[in-house]
Amino acid sequence: MEELTSEQRSELYRLLLVLQDELKASLQKASSSRQIVDLDQPIGRLSRMDALQQQAMAKANSAGLEKRLQLVDSALRAFDSGIYGECRRCEEPIDHQRLKVHPETPFCLDCQKQIEGGR
């Protein structure tokens, strides 16, 4: 794998900043969906179950957004420390095309496959 060029690093840095803004906006928007369901509200049992299910799905979605935002924040810190684009496991460069798709990824494709295979 080749090291990232300065143009590629700039492109990926901009992608991370845009992704960070999008994730923060999505989390802000999702916060209204995570409101507590009022069990004393005079609605039918099925409507209450539907509301509880929607609330659970919104919480799960928010958890995924928060995890991805943490990865983006970590990738931005890696930029500051000069290690962005380096696999955290094998320390080899991560392919530019992989980073364009998932700029927040901390692992090269081979290591990611090994990690997922070990679950």
State both tokens at 96.
């530019």
Q: How far is residue 93's CA from residue 108's CA, in Å, rounded to a whole number? A: 7
- pLDDT value, residue 10: 96
> Phi and psi for 86 in degrees, rounded to 5?
-105, 130
6-117: CATH homologous superfamily?
DksA, coiled-coil domain (1.20.120.910)
pTM, 2 dp = 0.78
Per-residue pLDDT of the chain (119 residues; tens, 9 = 90+): 788 999 999 999 999 999 999 999 999 887 765 555 555 556 666 676 777 777 778 788 889 999 999 999 999 999 999 999 999 999 999 999 999 999 999 999 999 999 998 75
Alpha carbon of 9 to those of 19, 39, 82: distances in Å?
15, 51, 11
Pairwise CA distance, residues 23 & 94, whole Å: 23
- Angstrom distance (rounded) from CA 69 to CA 90: 23
In this prediction, residue 108 carries a pLDDT of 96
Encode burial over 4-17: b for 16+ CB neighbours within 10 A, e otherwise.
beeeebebbeebbe
Give me the residue spans of the domains in the chain: 6-117
Q: What residues contact residue 11 under an 8 Å CB cut-off, 6+ apart?
A: 100
Comparing CA positions, the residue from 89, 86, 112, 71 lying closest to residue 9 is 86
